[in-house]
Amino acid sequence: MDSIKNWLEENNIEEVQCITCDHTGIPRGKILPVQTFINDGGFRIPEAIMLQAACGDYIDDDLLFTLVDERDIDMVLKPDANACYILPWTQKPTAMIIHDCFDQKGELVELSARNVLKKVIELYNKADLQAVVAPEMELYLAKTNPDPNRALEPPIGRSGHTESGRQSFGIDAMTEFSPFIDDLYTWAKQLGLSLDAAIHEEGAAQFEFNFIHGDPLALADQVFVFKRMVKEAASKHGITATFMAKPIHGEPGNAMHIHQSVINATSGENIFATADGDTDAFRHYIGGLQKYIPQMMPMFAPNINSYKRFIAGYASPVNLHWGLENRTVGLRVPNAPIQARRVENRLPGADTNPYLAIAATLLCGYIGMSDKVEPSKPRLGKENDEKSTAMPTNIDDAIATMASSEKVKHYLGDLFVQGYTETRKADHENYKSVISAWERHFLLTAV
C-alpha cells in the first residue's frame, strides 16, 4: 500500500476510481477522495454484485443466497499495485486502480473473474511454465443513436462522408477517424498500455487494435482498461464505440483473437517448438483447445448476441479445426520462428470478459498438455463454410454444456461455474421477456 500511496502523491491524484470486473466485464466499485482511499487501504461492496447480469438483474432469488451469504454481506477489495492507471480523460487528476476481491476470512473470492485468471496462471506456475498472450481487439464506430430499435450506421468521417463498401486494411479509411485514433494512442501511452498495430477491418468503420505479447494478467487488465478508454474517446468525438459481437446485420462480427504460447519459466524457451519442429506440448495444447472450448463456450461467447457472429461463410470461423496460416479455422497457427511459435484462438468475441476469455483459453491448453490430448490433423483448405457440430450454437446450449462439465468444475470450482452460468442465464431470461422490433414488424398485423 505504501507504493500506491507514494504513486498517488507523486502524481497529485485527487480522486480514485476503485474498481473490479464483474462477470460481464462491467467495472463495479466506488469513487473515493484520495485521502479516504489512503486511510482505508481498500473498500467493501456486497458479494452479490458478482452475481449481477449485464441487464442489471441478479440471478434467481432462490439461488442467489445459496452462492453468497444470505445476510448479503460485503467482500473486501484490495488494490493491486501493478494495476494503477492515471485517467487521461477526467477533468481532475484521477486514478483508476483495479482491486482483487477477498472474503471476510481473507480468502480470494471464487466468483471474481480476475481471481479465476489468477487461478489458471497458478496452474502454469506450479508446472514451471509461463503463459504468454497477445490479444487483438475489434470494434465498430457508429453514429450515436439513443433508439435501440434503429440499426447502427457508420459515423461521418473527416471528409464529411460515411464509408461505403469493404475497406479492409484501408489507410485512407483509417485516417477518416485519425483524431479519434490519435487520442487512443496518446491516452494508451499515458496509461501504459502496450498498444501496437491498428488496422481497418472488413466492416464499415470497424477497426482492430493489437497488443504486444506479455503476461496474461497484465494483458487482461490492459484490455479491461482499453475498452473503457475507447468508449471515452468515442464519446469525446461525438460517436459511439461498440464491442458487441455482432452489432450490424450483414457485417462481420467483432472478435477478440488471442495469440498464446507457453515458455519454460526456468530456461525461457518456448515449449511449443524446437529446431526439429513442433513439440508434443504444442500438439496437446491444440488438442486441449479443440476438446474443451465447447465446455467453456460461455467464457468465449457470453451473450445471446455472441452466437449471431458464428455464421458459416463469414470471416468469423465456426469450427474447431487448426491449420498453419489458415484464417478460416478457429485455431490458426501463424508461420513464426521457434521462439514465437504460438496458436491464435479466433473464436472469442470482443464482447467477452477479458479475464475469463484468457483464463478459459489457457485452461483448455493446460488440460490438453496435462492429459496429452491429441489434436485432429491440420486443415489445409478453406474451412469457414463448415460449422463444427461440437460447438454450442446458442447461449442455452452453451450454458448447459458448461454447467454440466465436471472438468471445468474441477479446475474453476463449482461455485464459479454455477454463479457464472447463472448470470448468463439471467441476461437470457431478461432478453426472452422483451418484445423485439422483428416481432412488431412481421407479426403486428400479419397474425
CB 237 within 8 A of CB 187: no
Q: Is residue 282 part of a domain?
A: yes
Average pLDDT for 3-31: 95
Same domain, 358 and 285: yes
Same domain, 262 and 179: yes
CB 277 within 8 A of CB 370: no
Same domain, 377 and 269: yes
For strands 256-264 and 129-143, give the pairing: antiparallel
Q: Is residue 185 part of a domain?
A: yes
Same domain, 286 and 377: yes
Could you give the CA distance from residue 106 to residue 104 in angstroms, rounded to a whole number?
A: 5
DSSP for residue 241: E
Same domain, 381 and 434: no
State yes or no: pLDDT of 95 exceeds 80: yes
Q: Is residue 322 part of a domain?
A: yes
Q: Is residue 117 part of a domain?
A: no
State the pLDDT confidence band at 149, using cuts at 50, 70 and 90: confident
Can you spell out the DSSP letters for 365-413?
HHHHHHHTPPP-PPP-S--TTPPPTTS--SHHHHHHHHHT-HHHHHHH-
The x, y and z cell numbers of residue 39, run together, are 486511510
Same domain, 377 and 432: no
Domain extent for 269: 122-399
Could you give the CA distance from residue 402 to residue 294 in angstroms, rounded to a whole number?
A: 8
State the pLDDT confidence band at 241, using cuts at 50, 70 and 90: very high
DSSP element (H, E) containing 282: helix 280-292
Same domain, 84 and 160: no
Same domain, 129 and 63: no
Percent of the chain predicted with pLDDT > 90: 81
- Domains of the chain: total: 2
Q: Is residue 406 part of a domain?
A: no
What pLDDT does residue 170 have? 87
Q: Is residue 405 part of a domain?
A: no
Same domain, 21 and 85: yes
Same domain, 162 and 62: no
Could you give the CA distance from residue 142 to residue 162 in angstroms, rounded to a whole number?
A: 10
What pLDDT does residue 315 have? 65
CATH of the domain at 79: 3.10.20.70
Chain mean position to CA 262: 20
Same domain, 349 and 417: no
Last-in-domain residue among 359, 375, 399: 399
Can you spell out the DSSP letters for 11-39?
TT--EEEEEEE-SSS-EEEEEEEHHHHHH
- Give the lowest-confidence range in 159-173, 349-363, 371-385: 159-173
Average pLDDT for 416-441: 94
State yes or no: pLDDT of 238 exceeds 80: yes
What pLDDT does residue 313 have? 64
CATH of the domain at 327: 3.30.590.10
> Minimal CA–CA distance to 376: which of 290, 294, 295?
290
Could you give the CA distance from residue 54 to residue 26 in angstroms, rounded to a whole number?
A: 8
Same domain, 381 and 438: no
Rounding to the nearest 10 degrees, give the CA dihedral for residues 435, 437, 440, 441. -160
The x, y and z cell numbers of residue 403, run together, are 454447467
Q: Is residue 114 part of a domain?
A: no
**Three-class SS of residue 5?**
helix
The x, y and z cell numbers of residue 265, run together, are 519459466
CB 139 within 8 A of CB 350: yes
State the pLDDT confidence band at 2, using cuts at 50, 70 and 90: confident
Could you give the CA distance from residue 98 to residue 19 in angstroms, rounded to a whole number?
A: 5
Q: Which amino acid makes up residue 364?
A: C
Can you spell out the DSSP letters for 42-72?
SEEEEGGGGGB-TTSPBSPHHHHHHHS-TT-
Q: Is residue 43 part of a domain?
A: yes
State yes or no: pLDDT of 43 exceeds 90: no
